[in-house]
Amino acid sequence: MNKNTDDLLKIIKNQFNLEEDDLGVLRREFDEFYLSFSSNGPLKLVEEKESPAPSYWIVTPKSSHDKIILFFHGGGFNMGSTHGHQDLCQRLSKHTGYSVFSVDYRLAPENPFPAAVEDCIRSYLWLLDEGFKAHDIVISGISAGGNLALSTIIALKKIEEELPLCLVCMSPAVDLTFPVVYNHLKDVKDWINHERLEKVKELYLQEQSPFNPLASPIYGDLDGFPPLMLQAGSRELLLCDINRFKGLAVQKDVKVNLEVWQDMFHCWQIFYSHLPGADEPVRSIGEFIKEISGEVPQK
């Protein structure tokens, strides 16, 4: 790994005190830290007052008004917001030409599982009720938000609702049983560790089963899933689980594009200004969506 990446990992690891008693302080620090890596690109952020969960439209100068990315932020289910992820949303809009609709789903521990999943499902159904077409909607999420994107599809399939054009999941947490002894993997060099993952599970599930497919989508029915892009870093703690999910999806004939970016770590797409070429993963997401939508010929 290059020196910039090593230095950044040290900064991230030292940034958050998970023992902080004031959860409000921890959440504010998390958002502001993420925003400190902003690309400062042009965006317009507008609150949607009619949606079932607090939500925001993020658009850039060439955003379509008809094509939507329904976005779920990261933060381990107990932190994160549109505010902290607005730069990533701006870059998604820039490279896809879609407007981004970002949901501030309810957070744990105040609102444990399945509150966040319910907010995400209702947000998708609200977009359909507002007249947006399923084939003009992409569902995307990062980290915990990637988990919620996959869980939303599993729930929509169960109620036989029309599914979106495709899915894009960045560093998704696909299995909350966390079955791999990650600390023994020689290639792992990440800013999250097994202890942090166990804390995430404890706060979010609060003794509910991690085998529930809406908590761990890897245990869900993947038949009929829409085309899926997965992005992970080669040094990422969750890479083994993401690889397992890809394998199961392929067995069900799901179109899956897994990108493993060399020397990258969990949610590296956020840290745009510190990592040379860090916008390339988002550019690749744009190319994937345009290919699936038929805007460009398939490779």
**Catalytic residue positions, numbered:** 143, 236
**Amino acid identity for residue 248 in this structure:** L
For residue 254, give both structure tokens.
Answer: 């799901």
Asked if 267 contacts 74 with a C-beta cutoff of 8 angstroms, the reply is: yes
For residue 197, give both structure tokens.
Answer: 């993952």
Q: Is the dihedral of CA 291, 135, 91, 225 positive or negative?
A: negative
Pick from 187, 167, 168, 166: which is nearest to 238 by CA?
A: 187
What is the distance between the terminal CA atoms of the chain, rounded to a whole angstrom?
A: 31
Q: Are strands 228-233 and 256-261 parallel, antiparallel or unpaired?
A: parallel
For residue 162, give both structure tokens.
Answer: 């029309």
Q: How many angstroms separate the CA atoms of 112 and 108, rounded?
A: 5
Asked if 78 contacts 203 with a C-beta cutoff of 8 angstroms, the reply is: yes
Asked if 161 contacts 222 with a C-beta cutoff of 8 angstroms, the reply is: no
Q: How many angstroms separate the CA atoms of 114 and 106, rounded?
A: 10
Asked if 16 contacts 78 with a C-beta cutoff of 8 angstroms, the reply is: no
Q: How many angstroms separate the CA atoms of 204 and 200, rounded?
A: 6
